[in-house]
Amino acid sequence: MKSYLLLLYRLITYNVKVIFANKFVYFVLAAFLFFAVIITITIFEDPNFNEAVIYGFLVFPGLLLIFYPMAYGIQNDDDSKMLETIFGIPNYRYKVWLVRFVLTIGVAFVILYVLGHVANLTLYRFSILPILGQVLFPITFLSALAFMVSTLIRNGNGTAIVVVIVAFLFFVFAEPLEYSQYNVFLNPFSEPRGMSEFIWLTVIFKNRVYLVVATLLCLLYGMFNLQFRERFV
């Protein structure tokens, strides 16, 4: 049992190093710094904190944490000469990138959990896990989207540009679609006035279902693209 846990620990640490290109500490520091900047700006503009505000605080650092691993994952493997090895073992590439995808989301969750505790102790008392659970929906979707785009473009910089543009468009439409089930960044803790609780819960449920389905479709299409070895090596 101990040897199994040790092997699992080594597997996780190795993949985390690969995912974040040995710059994990910098990403953690960037997430905390970004979180601190957002909080500082909000304190000066509107010091009234609630669950809806905390949700927004956590979404942006989460996006920062998943952006690089998903956008540059394939290029990093190519640069380190690992891509041909990964494609050389049948079905190994699917397992590798699925594990890395799950680890990326897991690492983001852990760091956001710490940030949530910081906010809980210093800003506003709230239940951390329910908010984090909701935050993971848009983060996981955008992670899957970035992964899918990376399998199409196969270049980190190109993928980053496309993902930034798409995310920007989502942000642009977030305001006119603020309470719509089609809003990627729908804030489930910002209940609109004049809408019944049942309708609002229905909107949230549909939105989350759409995000889950879209996430699965992006992952499946990305995995489908990985079948074409000649495109990557």
* pLDDT score recorded for residue 193: 84
Are 71 and 144 spatial neighbours (Cβ–Cβ below 8 Å)?
A: no
Are 101 and 136 spatial neighbours (Cβ–Cβ below 8 Å)?
A: no
* pLDDT score recorded for residue 195: 85
* pLDDT score recorded for residue 138: 94
* pLDDT score recorded for residue 229: 57
Structure confidence at residue 21 as a pLDDT band (50, 70, 90): low
Are 164 and 177 spatial neighbours (Cβ–Cβ below 8 Å)?
A: no
Structure confidence at residue 183 as a pLDDT band (50, 70, 90): very high
Question: Is residue 230's pLDDT more than 60?
Answer: no
* pLDDT score recorded for residue 101: 87
Range with the poorest average pLDDT among 24-33, 37-46, 47-56, 197-206: 37-46
Mean pLDDT of the chain: 82
Token pair, residue 170, equals 């989502």
pLDDT digits (tens, 9 = 90+) for 40-93: 777 776 667 788 888 988 898 888 888 888 887 777 666 666 666 666 666 656
Name 96's Cβ contacts closer than 8 Å, sequence gap at least 6. Answer: 86
Choose between 7 and 53: higher pLDDT. 53
* pLDDT score recorded for residue 86: 62
Per the listing, tokens 């691993």 go with 69
Q: Which percentage of the chain shows pLDDT scores above 90?
A: 24
Structure confidence at residue 206 as a pLDDT band (50, 70, 90): very high
Count CA within 13 A, CB hemisphere, residue 140: 23
Structure confidence at residue 185 as a pLDDT band (50, 70, 90): very high
* pLDDT score recorded for residue 1: 63
Helix (H) or strand (E) holding 27: helix 24-45
Choose between 232 and 138: higher pLDDT. 138
Choose between 202 and 23: higher pLDDT. 202
Nearest Cα neighbor of 8 from 77, 143, 99 is 99
Nearest Cα neighbor of 59 from 163, 135, 131 is 135
DSSP 8-state secondary structure symbol assigned to residue 230:
G
Are 163 and 142 spatial neighbours (Cβ–Cβ below 8 Å)?
A: yes
Domain edges within the chain: 2-231
* pLDDT score recorded for residue 203: 94
Helix intervals (H) in 80-179:
83-88, 92-122, 128-153, 156-174
